[in-house]
């Protein structure tokens, strides 16, 4: 019954490539910090083992592997095309701690063993029910007894909003067979729809906001998301019940919901207080019309996970989040002692103890500080990390960028930084310079190599042009410590 849809999914990924990207919240350094905040004992990052289900072209897994040479990384994906591209990247980067399997999650070999972390991003909502079930089966079998799994999925009720746009685009191209033509026509149509929705009140305005940037997506995004043969958001309570059938316990979301509850907040909180945690979260999804979740799970019989506990803050490191910094630079952020402290060290992380000291100098009692730091995470100001980020906030005498970013700079429009986020380099000059920053060259030697590529507008002072780009690399978290 599901085989034709399964075949359609396989064919789709061979027809139009899906260009992957790193998802910062899937990085073990990030998700294990959230697990620790919930009381889960966590393994050492240096020797971490990670399984990614639906690893695509390796854009998410390979930068993690490059950062942990003594770790073990396995990616599983059905697509021959995407697996081949991931293997080519791994080979060129000489990553010998990675295995990339072209396989169906329904047939993962048992001998793969256990992993500290299992990741499935952009998978659960895009596959038929038997594959969803096989995904949980694989997590249950391959997650080490104390391991943490991460599953991101499209969510109801917010997903109903996006469903309207997807249905409109799919209906519009229902008779078009050629994949490239489907993408072109769907892109054109959604931008017209958005223009029209924008002029309408109520639901039209909400749809316009939701799809405002849809037409700018790359072909793979439109083809495999908006036009996907299957894309099914689920209710949180349904997801949790499904996980429980595989003896997996959902205990947290890696990115907590940051929105407030508005003027009805106190009354809503009172109504929800007596509910069990799953019902409470489900009700909050109705309140917020949430569209996506990235849920962390552990083996139900192993346990260890409890409620969020600020006492664990002391073991972690924190950095200002990128969206917070954008907001702050645009002048939108209110004064906040945790935000101010982290912003002063951006993009690097600092240990919680240093934030506690900074708060003390502003009159915050040491007993209150951990809860203030947790709040900064919940409100999107701070990103927690299990370990310090190994990055430099200013260019060193011999600047060194990560190996993955150096490899990507001359091949792709975006590079992956040390916080596992995609960043766009400023210009061709930056793209010429970054690959040379391998820690062996002084700034003068770098200049000698790229002098011919200095933009005409900066020709009068080529040294300053190099310094400017190096400073941009540092603030974009591209330079190693």
Task: Please tell me what DSSP assigns to residue 317.
Answer: E
**Smallest distance from the beta carbon of 64 to ligand SAM, in angstroms?**
13
Question: Distance between CA atoms of 278 and 268, rounded to whole angstroms?
Answer: 16
**Smallest distance from the beta carbon of 183 to ligand SAM, in angstroms?**
15
**Smallest distance from the beta carbon of 67 to ligand SAM, in angstroms?**
18
Q: Between 54 and 71, whose beta carbon lies closer to ligand SAM?
A: 54
**Smallest distance from the beta carbon of 295 to ligand SAM, in angstroms?**
15
Q: Between 127 and 358, whose beta carbon lies closer to ligand SAM?
A: 127
| Residues making up the chain, counted from first to last | 481
Q: Between 23 and 407, whose beta carbon lies closer to ligand SAM?
A: 23
Q: What is the largest CA-CA distance in the chain?
A: 69
Q: Between 56 and 63, whose beta carbon lies closer to ligand SAM?
A: 56
Cβ distance 162 to 154 under 8 Å? yes
**Smallest distance from the beta carbon of 105 to ligand SAM, in angstroms?**
4
**Smallest distance from the beta carbon of 396 to ligand SAM, in angstroms?**
33
**Smallest distance from the beta carbon of 9 to ligand SAM, in angstroms?**
5
Cβ distance 143 to 118 under 8 Å? yes
Q: Between 77 and 226, whose beta carbon lies closer to ligand SAM?
A: 77
Question: Distance between CA atoms of 223 and 299, rounded to whole angstroms?
Answer: 35
Cβ distance 152 to 120 under 8 Å? yes
**Smallest distance from the beta carbon of 408 to ligand SAM, in angstroms?**
16
Q: Between 122 and 395, whose beta carbon lies closer to ligand SAM?
A: 122
DSSP code per residue over 202-235 = THHHHHHHHTTTGGGS-HHHIIIIIT-S----B-
> Taking Cα atoms as reference points, which of 262, 382, 327 lies closest to residue 371?
382
> Taking Cα atoms as reference points, which of 315, 403, 438 lies closest to residue 69?
403
Question: Distance between CA atoms of 43 and 63, rounded to whole angstroms?
Answer: 19
Q: Per the structure block, which two tokens stand in for 359?
A: 């708060």
User: Which helix (H) or strand (E) segment is 416 a member of?
Assistant: strand 414-416
Peptide bond into 157 cis (omega under 30): yes
> Taking Cα atoms as reference points, which of 101, 119, 115, 97 lies closest to residue 24?
119
- Residues near ligand SAM (CB under 6 A) are 9, 13, 18, 20, 54, 56, 76-79, 82, 104-105, 121-123, 126-127, 131, 224
Q: Between 105 and 148, whose beta carbon lies closer to ligand SAM?
A: 105
Question: Distance between CA atoms of 467 and 451, rounded to whole angstroms?
Answer: 13
Q: Between 13 and 166, whose beta carbon lies closer to ligand SAM?
A: 13
User: Which residue of the chain is nearest ligand SAM when measured via CB?
Assistant: 122
Q: Between 54 and 395, whose beta carbon lies closer to ligand SAM?
A: 54
Describe the chain by its helix, strand, coil percentages, rounded to 5.
Answer: 50, 15, 35
User: Which helix (H) or strand (E) segment is 250 a member of?
Assistant: strand 248-253
**Smallest distance from the beta carbon of 119 to ligand SAM, in angstroms?**
8
């Amino acid at each position: 019954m599901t085989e034709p849809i399964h075949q359609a999914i396989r064919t789709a990924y061979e027809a139009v490539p899906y260009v992957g990207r790193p998802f910062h919240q899937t990085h073990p350094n990030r998700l294990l910090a959230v697990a620790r905040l919930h009381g889960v004992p966590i393994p050492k990052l240096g020797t971490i083992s990670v399984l990614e289900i639906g690893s695509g072209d390796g854009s998410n897994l390979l930068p993690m592997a490059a950062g942990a040479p003594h770790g073990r990384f396995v990616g599983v994906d059905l697509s021959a095309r995407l697996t081949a591209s991931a293997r080519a990247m791994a080979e060129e980067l000489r990553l010998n701690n990675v295995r990339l399997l072209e396989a169906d999650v329904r047939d993962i070999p048992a001998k793969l063993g256990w992993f500290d972390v299992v990741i499935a991003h952009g998978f659960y909502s895009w596959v038929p029910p038997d594959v969803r079930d096989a995904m949980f089966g694989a997590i249950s079998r391959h997650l080490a007894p104390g391991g943490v799994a991460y599953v991101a999925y499209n969510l109801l009720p917010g997903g109903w909003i996006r469903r309207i746009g997807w249905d409109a685009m799919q209906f519009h191209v229902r008779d078009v067979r050629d994949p490239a033509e489907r993408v072109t026509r769907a892109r054109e149509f959604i931008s017209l729809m958005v223009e029209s929705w924008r002029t309408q009140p109520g639901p039209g305005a909400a749809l316009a906001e939701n799809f405002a940037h849809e037409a700018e997506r790359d072909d793979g995004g439109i083809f495999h998301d908006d036009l996907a043969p299957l894309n099914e958001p689920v209710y949180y309570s349904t997801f949790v019940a499904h996980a429980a059938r595989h003896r997996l316990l959902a205990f947290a979301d890696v990115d907590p919901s940051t929105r407030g509850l508005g003027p009805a907040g106190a009354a809503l909180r009172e109504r929800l207080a007596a509910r069990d945690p799953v019902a409470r979260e489900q009700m909050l999804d109705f309140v917020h019309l949430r569209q996506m979740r990235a849920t962390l799970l552990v083996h139900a019989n192993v346990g260890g996970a409890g409620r969020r506990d600020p006492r664990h803050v002391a073991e972690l490191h924190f950095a200002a989040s990128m969206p917070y910094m954008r907001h702050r630079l645009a002048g939108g952020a209110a004064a906040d002692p945790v935000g101010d402290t982290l912003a002063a060290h951006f993009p690097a992380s600092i240990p919680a103890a240093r934030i506690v000291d900074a708060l003390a100098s502003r009159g915050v009692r040491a007993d209150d500080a951990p809860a203030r730091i947790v709040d900064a995470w919940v409100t999107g100001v701070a990103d927690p990390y299990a370990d310090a980020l190994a990055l430099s906030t200013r260019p060193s005498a011999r600047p060194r960028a990560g190996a993955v970013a150096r490899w990507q700079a001359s091949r792709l429009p975006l590079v992956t930084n040390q916080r596992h986020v995609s960043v766009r380099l400023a210009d061709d000059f930056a793209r010429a310079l970054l690959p040379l920053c391998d820690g062996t060259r002084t700034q003068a030697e770098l200049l000698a190599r790229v002098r011919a590529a200095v933009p005409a507008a900066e020709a009068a002072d080529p040294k300053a042009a190099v310094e400017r780009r190096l400073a941009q690399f540092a603030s974009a978290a591209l330079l190693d410590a």
